[in-house]
Amino acid sequence: MRQSSRAARYRPIVQRAVALLLAPRPADILVRCASGAHRVRLARGRFWASARCRACGARVDPTRIRRLATWIAGAFRPPARSGRALWTWTAAVGCVALALTAAACVWLLSDRWWPATTLLFGPRWVLLLAPAAVVPAALAWDRRAVVPLALAAAVLAGPVVGLRTGWRRLLVSPDPARDLRVMSFNVDGGSTLRMPLEEMLRAWRVDLAAFQECGGRLQEEVAALTAWHADVTGSLCLVSRLPIGGASGMEREGLAAAGGSGLVETHVVDDGGRLVQLTNLHLETPRAGFEQIRAGRLAEGVPKLEEKSYLREIELRRARRWVDQLPPPRIVVGDFNSPPESPIFRAAWAGWQNAFSLTGVGLGGTRLNGWIRARIDHILLDGRWTVVRSWLGPDVGSDHRPILAEVRLR
């Protein structure tokens, strides 16, 4: 009984604290009454309360929609008073400008302007710290500033940082009898992996596993598999639960002579009489330019970065042309060395489904570089497929994390 009375005593205090925290803190709002003849001032503290016009007695905005719209519109006008409220509003609007500028750099200017390219491959999530730092000031001094801060956070989290919610996976139920589990994994030579290949395939229940930078040790493990079909072509390895038919590769001598990579290999996989064209690729990286820029050698690093971006564009377009001449259904996996926001990546692979972009959750960073995570490994599918879900595998010792997807022929 004593505990119940104590809870009843503190409940109003808690409710009041929550109301103060969540309720907007606007300047006085002017809203017309239901008769439309008078404008009623809703003072602070009466913002959510029901009200009647003192002149005619008509109800004032019973749905609260007009007062809320007025408050939101006022959030984008500087407060009349100066001091901390004005500083907070200015900082919030600055966050919106930062978000829009970053989005323009990532989606329009990257691959063409080296600072934007650096941002594209860099730790874009750091930009979210800007609106987060202003939130306490907004709650304390001008809660209308929460509106532009929320807008800035939404632009940064979505178009800039690439946060995925994976809501489409709720529309499809897994069907183990029909779904194929596909994996792409840059193993960095394979010598540092902490998990044997056969154990990896069994633990992750993979049907098709494509490896890039597949070195000598991993190639030996591939050759030793007895219950799997496998193929090794240079540094590209394919391990399949399904029979592997013919294989063909894209010509790359010119790309290699120019300092590029251009590794593109296609295998025909027999899925119960359905012939699937699986392409495994590893394209050029801009890392050499970034390393020189990070070392302060801009005169060398910027031209190198521009050169590598040009090679990436050529390889992306050539890989797309190579895949276009294959019959559907088609799957393309590998290390593209391009984030999904890259303009040249989007132009080259327009119309293809990106498994993680559709059904993944989070940022999906596959390249591990300290606290920088770039999503440069992808699983792409033509329109004959439905993506059930996609996710990242654990860190097992490579400088990349594996990316997996469950897909189903329509």
CA distances from 59 to 50, 64, 66, 74 (A): 8, 11, 13, 23
Question: How much is the pLDDT for 55?
Answer: 79
Task: Note the pLDDT tens digit of each residue in 159-213.
Answer: 999 999 999 999 999 999 999 999 999 999 999 999 999 999 999 999 999 999 9
- Find out whether 31 and 66 touch, Cβ atoms under 8 Å: yes
What local confidence, expressed as pLDDT, does residue 388 receive? 97
Listed as own residue / partner, the contacts of 349-354 with beta carbons closer than 8 Å and 24 or more positions apart are 349/316, 349/320, 349/380, 351/383, 352/380, 352/381, 352/382, 353/380, 353/381, 353/382, 353/383, 353/385, 353/387, 354/378, 354/379, 354/380
Query: What pLDDT sits at residue 4?
Result: 59
Lowest mean pLDDT among 52-66, 135-149, 226-240: 52-66
What gap in Å lies between CA 132 and CA 116, rounded to an integer? 23
Query: Pairing relation of β-strands 385-392 and 403-409?
Result: antiparallel
Q: Which of 20, 43, 14, 22 is nearest to 31 (CA)?
A: 43
Overall average pLDDT of the 148-169 stretch: 96
CA–CA separation, 315 and 170 (whole Å): 35
Phi/psi at 132 (5° precision)? -65, -35
Nearest CA to 41 among 15, 18, 63, 60?
60
Provide mean pLDDT across the span 75-96. Answer: 84
Question: In the prediction, which pLDDT does 21 show?
Answer: 46
Residue 16: per-residue pLDDT = 60
Give backbone dihedrals phi and psi of 67, rounded to 5 degrees, phi first.
-70, -35
Average pLDDT over residues 346-374: 94
Q: What is the mean pLDDT of residues 377-395?
A: 97
Predicted TM-score of the model (pTM)? 0.84
pLDDT of the residue at 22: 45
Return the structure tokens found at 81.
């008073």
Mean pLDDT over residues 316-320, rounded? 97
Res. 24 pLDDT band, cuts 50 70 90: very low
Q: What angle do CA 16, 68, 40 make, to 5 degrees?
A: 90
How much is the pLDDT for 28? 65
Mean pLDDT (whole number) for 376-381: 98
Q: Quick check: 44 pLDDT over 80?
A: no
- The domain ranges of the chain are 2-74, 84-160, 176-409
**Residue 368: CB atoms within 10 Å:** 15
- Output the average pLDDT for the chain: 89
Q: Are 379 and 184 in contact (CB under 8 A)?
A: yes
Q: Is the pLDDT of residue 23 over 50?
A: no
Q: Tell me which residue of 250, 254, 286, 285 sits closest to 266, measured CA to CA.
A: 250
Architecture per CATH, domain 176-409, reads as 4-Layer Sandwich (3.60)
Residue 69: its pLDDT value, please?
Answer: 80
3-state secondary structure of 154: helix
Stretch among 54-63, 215-224, 260-269, 349-358 having the lowest mean pLDDT: 54-63
* Rounded CA separation 123/160 (Å): 11
Q: Give kind and range of the element (H or E) at residue 137.
A: helix 129-141
Nearest to 339 by CA among 114, 99, 208, 160: 160
* Alpha helix ranges (H) inside 23-128: 65-74, 84-104, 114-121
The tokens for 70 are 């007025």
Phi, psi dihedral angles at 15 (to 5 degrees) = -60, -40
Give the residue-averaged pLDDT of 246-270. 93
- 3 state DSSP class of 94: helix
Of 357, 347, 362, nearest in space to 380 by CA? 357
Question: Is the backbone peptide bond immediately before 329 cis, with ω within 30 degrees of 0?
Answer: yes
